[in-house]
Amino acid sequence: MSSIREMVYSYVKKVVSNSVSKVVVVSCDDVVTELGIAPSTCYAYLRVVCRDIGGEYIRGKCTVVKG
């Protein structure tokens, strides 16, 4: 597993777990700002990570419904 992928995965999981909302949206803008990675890198990894955690990825945003 890539270290960048692991960073994105842990960031998304942290945001989802800390959120009080039932529907959580994580955008690539948030990930780029927080982790300091390139936007193109974010788009590639956020899509994979979003699918791994059971979310839906559309146009740079990962939407997760907490169960």
Summarize pLDDT for 15-55 with one digit per residue, the tens.
999 999 999 999 999 999 999 999 999 999 999 999 999 99
Look at residue 67 in the predicted model and tell me its pLDDT.
77
For residues 2 and 26, give the distance between their C-alpha atoms in angstroms, rounded to a whole number: 20
In this structure, whether the domain defined by 3-65 belongs to CATH 3.40.50 is answered with: no
Judged against a pLDDT cut of 80, whether residue 1 lies above it is answered with no
pTM: 0.90
φ, ψ of residue 49 to 5 degrees: the values are -65, -40
Judged against a pLDDT cut of 90, whether residue 2 lies above it is answered with no
